[in-house]
Amino acid sequence: MTKVAFIGLGVMGYPMAGHLVKAGFDVCVYNRTTAKAEQWANEFSGTFATTPKQASDNADIVFACVGNDDDVRQVSFGEDGIFAGLETGAIYVDHTTASAELARELNDFAVKQGNHFIDAPVSGGQAGAENGLLTVMCGGDETTFAKVQPVMAAYAKFSQLMGASGYGQIAKMANQICIAGVVQGLSEAFNFAQRSGLDADKLVETISKGAAGSWQMENRYKTMFAGEYDFGFAVDWMRKDLAIAFAEAQKVDAKLPMTEMVDGFYEQVQQNGGNRWDTSSLISLLKD
């Protein structure tokens, strides 16, 4: 049986690690809050460790899904970090949305240590994690990807190797840029439709069948029309992801004028107390 570890049991990692158990893998987890790890172990009949190193001991593959670059470094390096526990030839897969620079740093460290690394940010949100329907964008070498892809299938409906180390993260940046523009467009269209007296269900049933259709439209229109945002992918997380994209865009001289504008709107949502609201809360700025 393949032995895996999962580091980070947030809204994404908790169900992802659970799917690994359901798929038949031997799973040991670590979380900074030990009580959360113990709760997971009781729920899924897995085991938990008190350090990333301990969780990684004897693991064939170690998965991580934490908050940002600093969090990844904290769980990866040092005497209690993931790398300290990896056996030679083991694979480290980072599902955190982080910088491409960090992905390359982790890959270089892994290679020097005799290990392998894949940067593998995900898309699909909390619902995708809970339902095992995530999309995974990966960076690394083909041989390593081929080994981890069938394991990730426990919680992913689709995974793709985008290129060398770091390209998984760059793909996720492009993903977030797309979402920002789509949600702003939906916000303006739905606000316009609501003020004009259109029936929301009939509108979406009709235009979702054409060129305007999108996942965001079909899954968020009811709550956007109702002014409900207390769920889903938080504005704070989106702004963190967009900041990473802006930094990378500067390096490659890519202009992101629309994304910068939408990021400013998200900042206004934060100022209105919507830090933890779903990203679809952009429409709240148009309802006043």
Considering the domain delimited by 3-165, tell me its CATH architecture.
3-Layer(aba) Sandwich (3.40)
CA distance 39 to 17: 12
What mean pLDDT comes out for the span 193-221?
97
CATH 1.10.1040.10 at 170-286, yes or no: yes
pLDDT > 70: percent of the chain: 100
CA distance 167 to 176: 14
What tokens does 149 get? 């892809």
CA distance 53 to 280: 38
Residue 1 pLDDT > 90, yes or no? no
Contact present, 49 and 30 (Cβ < 8 Å):
yes
What does the mean pLDDT of the chain come to?
Answer: 97
CA distance 268 to 241: 17
DSSP conformation class of 258: H
Beta bridge partners of 91: 61, 116
Contact present, 103 and 67 (Cβ < 8 Å):
no
pTM score of the predicted model? 0.96
Contact present, 98 and 118 (Cβ < 8 Å):
no
- What are the tens digits of pLDDT across the range 99-154? 999 999 999 999 999 999 999 999 999 999 999 999 999 999 999 999 999 999 99
From the list 167, 156, 163, 216, the residue with the least C-alpha distance to 189 is 216
Residue 279 CA to its chain's centroid (Å): 14
CA distance 86 to 4: 11
Position 222 scores a pLDDT of 97
CA distance 286 to 192: 9
- What are the tens digits of pLDDT across the range 141-192? 999 999 999 999 999 999 999 999 999 999 999 999 999 999 999 999 999 9
Q: In CATH terms, are 3-165 and 170-286 the same topology?
A: no
- What are the tens digits of pLDDT across the range 239-281? 999 999 999 999 999 999 999 999 999 999 999 999 999 999 9
Residue 288 pLDDT > 90, yes or no? no
What tokens does 185 get? 């467009």
Q: Which long-range contacts (CB under 8 A, 24 or more apart) does 192-200 make?
A: 194/225, 200/225
Contact present, 159 and 183 (Cβ < 8 Å):
no
Structural domain boundaries in the chain = 3-165, 170-286
CA distances, 144 to each of 58, 91, 104, 150, 241 (Å): 18, 8, 15, 11, 26
Position 203 scores a pLDDT of 98
CA distance 249 to 251: 5
CA distance 63 to 94: 6
pLDDT-derived band at 23 (thresholds 50, 70, 90) equals very high
From the list 141, 125, 75, 84, the residue with the least C-alpha distance to 102 is 75
Q: Is 36 designated active site?
A: no
Q: Which of 22, 36, 172, 209 is the catalytic position?
A: 172
Contact present, 172 and 121 (Cβ < 8 Å):
yes
Q: In 3-state terms, what secondary structure has residue 42?
A: helix
